[in-house]
Structure 1
Amino acid sequence: MALAGSDVIGQAKTGTGKTLGFGIPVLQRVVTQADVEAGRATAVPGKSPQALVVVPTRELCVQVTNDLQGAGKMRSVRVLAVYGGRAYEPQVEALRKGVEVVVGTPGRLLDLAGQGHLDISQVRMLVLDEADEMLDLGFLPDVEKIVDRLPARRQTMLFSATMPGQIITLARRYMSRPTHIRASAPDDQGTTVASVSQHVYRAHAMDKPEMLSRILQANGRGLAMVFCRTKRTCADLAEGLSERGFAAAAVHGDLGQGAREQALRAFRNGKVDVLVATDVAARGIDVDGVTHVVNYQCPEDEKTYLHRIGRTGRAGASGTAVTLVDWEDMPRWGLINKALELPFPEPPETYSTSAHLFTELQIPESATGVLPRAERTRAGLDAEVVEDLGETGGKGGRGRGKAGSTSSRGRSGSRSGPETAEAPAEPSRRRAPGSRRRRRLNDGTEPAAAATAVAVVETVADAAVAAPVNPSTDPFAVPAQAPKRTRTRRKPAAEAEAPAETVAPVADGDAEAPKRTRTRRKPAAEAEAPAETAAPVAEAAAEGDAEAPRRRRRRRRPAGEGAAEAAE
């Protein structure tokens, strides 16, 4: 039906070949240069893509591209993967040369189409792979924008293992008389694949690492995938398994695209046999030899459960799926069990030393929480080279564990590094009561003459106070706090307005700060030159190395004294 050009909604269980279900019709219907040379077509439509495949995740984009390239090798079909995390320039250059099929994620497809690099006006075939996952990830508005840019006359195919009601609504809106096809084996009537052996245990969160270490030592285990709900748990678990001797790698959203592809390549090549991942790797990832899937944390819903355990038992092979359910996740698991009609309403309470765990999963009795050194034969993640993808911004490589690098600040927020680690402890900066803070220069030196001159100027500035405000004459004035005064003798009434000499010259030499001297009041004629009093002190301070003079103790001025002097 797809080869005839009809719109198709394909629904089948995971691992049954949905990628080639739409891939073969797409590769067969595109026109290449080889078709023109062989006389099967008159002309190539152009350099614009003729088919567009939209997928929800980057990992699925890479896998679908590899499958289509392998299947279309004999027809010389050019297939391009377009997804985020990579540099724009190679993708733009490939589009400029011309391609027949583009496989991409919604975000990068919209970016390239908006910039004018991707022309989708000639697309004759549209495929939405894992459409329900696009709905869950919030890609539905982007998908609608992409569909609105496509020609009205086209073939639309939608494939997924699960079909919620919103996806059916989307199909009715953008498809023309689609045919809904459900494919399954005659003897496989359940919602899950019959070749997958399922085990569910109620486990304690603190005992899960020990249980997982023993499950990974089961007889006949090949490659294994461990799924977590959160990125932090994924990174911590991968690091913990590596410390226990397992060749483990992590795949989650906080890693850069280069680190994620490095982990998947190492897993496919056998350098790593345990892949710890979030649900970004639960869709469409097809790796040969995966025998065990472990749900380290209970999945969110029944669709996630189906896609997780679908990573094993693919293409007719057998596999084992183990789910560890916490006590607080029992209500969620009850809903999943009821929706899928599974026979595990009350999982048995299980620990790492439980006998039935060893019996059901065929774990040797000698298995412990650490992998024996004789069985550590994998090369590990470090043996796989990280490809330089020219990553564009994002969180590039900020993961934890070997695939990422931790931040320069620890969890407490303190700096780390050789400079701060070897620096001596800085002395306390708290001053004793009544002590004076000395000013330092940029180079850390403290010349005595400069400090003395600065101190004298500050003392003179403190002594020059403004005339008090008389509240009786100015009703809007706010009475300020009276400044401190030096202790001097009472001056006669004739000399009331003459300022006092409050600063005495500093003696030469290395003597301490001079004592305060009681000086006479200036005559009225000298009252207007108070700034000259600091000159001899500054000159004397510049000649010697005396320390800064101490501040004078001044008694607090009574509130009514200023008004009384003004009245005199």
Structure 2
Amino acid sequence: MTLPVALSGSDVIGQAKTGTGKTLGFGLPLLERVTVPADVEAGRAAPEKLTDAPQALIVVPTRELCQQVTNDLLTAGKARNVRVLAIYGGRAYEPQVEALKKGVDVIVGTPGRLLDLAGQRKLDLSHIRVLVLDEADEMLDLGFLPDVERIITMLPPKRQTMLFSATMPGAVISLARRYMSQPTHINATSPDDEGTTVKNTVQHVYRAHNMDKPEMLSRILQADGRGLAMVFCRTKRTAADIADQLEKRGFASGAVHGDLGQGAREQALRAFRNGKVDVLVCTDVAARGIDVEGVTHVINYQSPEDEKTYLHRIGRTGRAGAKGIAITLVDWDDIPRWQLINKALDLKFPDPVETYSTSPHLYEELDIPAGTKGVLPRADRTRAGLRAEQVEDLGETGGRGRKSAASAPAPREERPPRTPRQRRRTRGGSTLEEGAVTVPAPAPAAETAGDDAEPRTPRRRRRARAAVAEAVTETAVAVAEAPVAEPAPVAEAEPAAEAKPRRRRTRATAAKEAVAAPVAPAPAAEPVVDFQTVAMAAPVAEPVATKPRRRTRVVKPADEVDFQIAPVAEPATETKPRRRTRAAAKPKTETVTAPAEDAAETKPRRRRPRAAATEKAETVAVTEAAPDGEAAPAKPRRRRSRATAAATAETTEG
């Protein structure tokens, strides 16, 4: 009925029962309207009409239906060599893009992937002449309607549009007329067929308990004359659970639901078609359009949502004139829903019979042998099973394919060289140690540092200590050559205590010892006593080596400091290896040799209270006041001590 109307180029709304050949109802007119090279050779078409862009588009709701329609069209268009391509999600993009570049005549696809490729400008829809919406009631439902509208806006305005489905509600028909131009509505029914369901399908409805359903299902599957069977569940979790239970009971079962990858879904469906699996447990994903030859039983393990779903479920059997059996197990909670379905389809099962796995009428109506249990006997387990069918590597997105799994260990091997831990090892390794050894330093100091020091900071400290020891030995030689008669005994008690303390201790001890120097004389036996006399005889670069800390870099210019003028009364402060002790000693020399103008020159450096403190320290050093009360104000700051040292050097030279 649709062929003459569709071949004339008119828009068609086709409605017919399941299994009556709707695919070829729109497929044959579509293949005739496509221009291929064979038409140009035969003179039926002009060469200008040839193009590599797709000329016909078929939009389907599910991936399984997409694959099935593609195979049917390839078979029908084999004589004319029509190029048909399936585009759907779950597969890699690259093979589909390459096929589009080579040239395609007809495209069968799902809305999501079609929009993806069209948005990337890999799919050109500007040459489409025919648009077909298969399972139109599902395509124009609220879930797919926005995507379908976007696809239609990409198509040329002058085209032929055809809608086909087994169920076509009035609201869908009125909605479809917006995209069609004067469509012809064709509702095909057989003269001897009454109702909405196929006459060849025998229906049974039982009220069953949820806990007894697995046992009932396993016994129904052992009925006489059972071929392939499809079990429909409402949820994905139930479908996976039932498939596992049937496999444990000895049945060759497979599952098709949305939680599986596309490779696993196609594996199960392919094994079901090839006969390796005889029970396919699936959700409503496989309820529309799937055509498998030899399906004798369809079992609704859970009640369907509405009457349309029920029709499409039981339509998987009794196709193309064959006979089938449809069994529905209704739970107590699903009785109200089932009564609505029964009323909408005008069926004869308003109140299903309460049935259990041991009910006699179940065995009689379904031809189940007496004594059948819920486990398949080992003698009947002849199917190869799902594992006999190989999983095809589709290059699936999301890392489900084999390529992504095989390439997973590679990045793990590349990660270790990138870790910052190895970088830290190289920083603290032999390279830096060699660099530390090559730093210019006095020969004996480098030898001592190279012997004991591995870490960086202790090396500097030990080097400075070694330099202090060398300076002490040099001062001893200098003292022997040029002795000084003035208060050498003052500093004799200090060297032992001065070599050990750190910065904070030396500030306090320096001031106290400087004040108490004339009071407590001591024998001048040790060589460290005359540091200032050593400074007079030795060059200026020697005291730099006596400084043990890192801050020795600041005192690099030797012209600023001149120790030759330092009086004899202050050797105690200079014996300490810190800067501040020298600075503490030099303001005291100013009181003996320089006038009050030098003290005034040092004031503008910093705050006045510090200057006043230094003046107090100087006057105390001259008058030899009590050591305890004036030790605190005698503490000078670093920068100030350098300036005062330079000032004293200039004045004494003058």
- Calculate the TM-score normalised by the size of structure 1: 0.69
Cα distance in 2 for partners of 1:34, 1:78 equals: 12
Whether the 8 Å CA contact 1:85–1:394 is kept in 2: the answer is: no
Cα distance in 1 for partners of 2:24, 2:270 equals: 22
Q: 1:49 aligns with which of 54, 60, 64?
A: 54
Q: Mark the CA change 1:71 to 1:306 in structure 2 (over 3 Å): closer, same or farther.
A: same
**Corresponding position: 1:120 with 2:150:** no
Q: Mark the CA change 1:351 to 1:136 in structure 2 (over 3 Å): closer, same or farther.
A: farther
Instruction: Give deviations 1:263-319, integer Å, cap 9, x for gaps.
Output: 000000000000000000000000000000000000000000000000000001000
Instruction: Give deviations 1:48-75, integer Å, cap 9, x for gaps.
Output: 1000000000000000000000010001
Show the counterpart of 1:157.
162
Cα distance in 2 for partners of 1:153, 1:123 equals: 9
Q: 2:177 aligns with which of 172, 176, 186?
A: 172
The amino acid of 1:68's aligned partner reads: L
Please give the root-mean-square deviation of Cα atoms over the aligned residues, in Å. Answer: 1.3
Show the counterpart of 1:305.
310
Cα distance in 2 for partners of 1:368, 1:75 equals: 54
Identity of matched residues, %: 78
**Corresponding position: 1:331 with 2:336:** yes
Q: Mark the CA change 1:209 to 1:396 in structure 2 (over 3 Å): closer, same or farther.
A: farther
Cα distance in 2 for partners of 1:61, 1:219 equals: 34
Cα distance in 1 for partners of 2:388, 2:337 equals: 40
The more displaced of 41-50 and 64-73 is 41-50
How far the C-alpha of 1:170 sits from its partner, in A, is 2.6
**Corresponding position: 1:75 with 2:80:** yes
Cα distance in 2 for partners of 1:45, 1:13 equals: 37
The amino acid of 1:72's aligned partner reads: G
Whether the 8 Å CA contact 1:254–1:396 is kept in 2: the answer is: no
Q: Residue 211 of structure 2: SS of its match in structure 1? A: helix
Cα distance in 2 for partners of 1:194, 1:137 equals: 32
Cα distance in 2 for partners of 1:9, 1:48 equals: 26
How far the C-alpha of 1:169 sits from its partner, in A, is 2.5
How far the C-alpha of 1:34 sits from its partner, in A, is 1.3
The amino acid of 1:108's aligned partner reads: R
Q: Mark the CA change 1:59 to 1:365 in structure 2 (over 3 Å): closer, same or farther.
A: same
Whether the 8 Å CA contact 1:255–1:396 is kept in 2: the answer is: no
Whether the 8 Å CA contact 2:263–2:393 is kept in 1: the answer is: yes
Q: Residue 316 of structure 1: SS of its match in structure 2? A: coil
How far the C-alpha of 1:326 sits from its partner, in A, is 0.2
Show the counterpart of 2:521.
none
The amino acid of 2:393's aligned partner reads: D
Larger radius of gyration: 2
Show the counterpart of 1:226.
231
Q: 2:301 aligns with which of 290, 296, 299?
A: 296
Show the counterpart of 1:39.
43
The amino acid of 1:356's aligned partner reads: H
Q: Mark the CA change 1:355 to 1:136 in structure 2 (over 3 Å): closer, same or farther.
A: farther
How far the C-alpha of 1:135 sits from its partner, in A, is 3.6
How far the C-alpha of 1:394 sits from its partner, in A, is 8.0
How far the C-alpha of 1:395 sits from its partner, in A, is 7.3
Show the counterpart of 1:59.
64
Q: Residue 335 of structure 1: SS of its match in structure 2? A: helix
Cα distance in 2 for partners of 1:45, 1:72 equals: 17
Show the counterpart of 1:517.
none
**Corresponding position: 1:248 with 2:248:** no
**Corresponding position: 1:30 with 2:34:** yes
Instruction: Give deviations 1:393-412, integer Å, cap 9, x for gaps.
Output: 28779xxxxxxxxxxxxxxx
Cα distance in 2 for partners of 1:327, 1:367 equals: 26
Show the counterpart of 1:6.
10
Instruction: Give deviations 1:221-279, integer Å, cap 9, x for gaps.
Output: 00000000000000000000000000000000000000000000000000000000000
Cα distance in 2 for partners of 1:288, 1:366 equals: 30
Cα distance in 2 for partners of 1:150, 1:173 equals: 15
Q: Which has the higher contact order (CA 8 A, sep 6+)?
A: 1
Q: Residue 345 of structure 1: SS of its match in structure 2? A: coil
Kindly report which structure 2 residues correspond to 1:196-275, keeping only aligned pairs within 5 A, or say none: 196-275=201-280
Kindly report which structure 2 residues correspond to 1:125-524, keeping only aligned pairs within 5 A, or say none: 125-136=130-141, 138-393=143-398
Task: List, as ranges, runs of 4+ consecutive aligned residues in structure 1 with deviation greater than 3 Å.
Answer: 394-397
How far the C-alpha of 1:89 sits from its partner, in A, is 0.4
Cα distance in 2 for partners of 1:194, 1:117 equals: 46
Cα distance in 2 for partners of 1:140, 1:99 equals: 26
Q: Mark the CA change 1:137 to 1:247 in structure 2 (over 3 Å): closer, same or farther.
A: farther
How far the C-alpha of 1:134 sits from its partner, in A, is 2.2
Q: Residue 81 of structure 1: SS of its match in structure 2? A: strand
Cα distance in 2 for partners of 1:64, 1:335 equals: 33
Whether the 8 Å CA contact 1:263–1:381 is kept in 2: the answer is: yes
Whether the 8 Å CA contact 2:233–2:300 is kept in 1: the answer is: yes
Whether the 8 Å CA contact 1:8–1:158 is kept in 2: the answer is: yes
Show the counterpart of 1:100.
105
Task: Give structure 2 stretches of 5+ with no counterpart.
Answer: 403-507, 510-654
How far the C-alpha of 1:166 sits from its partner, in A, is 3.4
Cα distance in 1 for partners of 2:174, 2:400 equals: 35
Show the counterpart of 1:508.
none
Q: Mark the CA change 1:314 to 1:394 in structure 2 (over 3 Å): closer, same or farther.
A: farther
The amino acid of 2:31's aligned partner reads: L
How far the C-alpha of 1:40 sits from its partner, in A, is 1.6
Q: Residue 24 of structure 1: SS of its match in structure 2? A: helix
The amino acid of 1:141's aligned partner reads: P
Cα distance in 2 for partners of 1:50, 1:171 equals: 22
Cα distance in 2 for partners of 1:395, 1:204 equals: 37
The amino acid of 2:173's aligned partner reads: I
Whether the 8 Å CA contact 1:255–1:395 is kept in 2: the answer is: no
Cα distance in 2 for partners of 1:276, 1:285 equals: 14
Instruction: Give deviations 1:366-422, integer Å, cap 9, x for gaps.
Output: 21100000000000000001000000128779xxxxxxxxxxxxxxxxxxxxxxxxx
Task: Give structure 1 stretches of 5+ with no counterpart.
Answer: 398-524, 527-568
The more displaced of 37-46 and 375-384 is 37-46
Cα distance in 2 for partners of 1:118, 1:166 equals: 32
Higher helix share: 2
Instruction: Give deviations 1:129-161, integer Å, cap 9, x for gaps.
Output: 001122447011000000011001000000001
Q: Residue 206 of structure 1: SS of its match in structure 2? A: coil
How far the C-alpha of 1:24 sits from its partner, in A, is 0.4
Whether the 8 Å CA contact 2:233–2:239 is kept in 1: the answer is: yes
**Corresponding position: 1:85 with 2:90:** yes
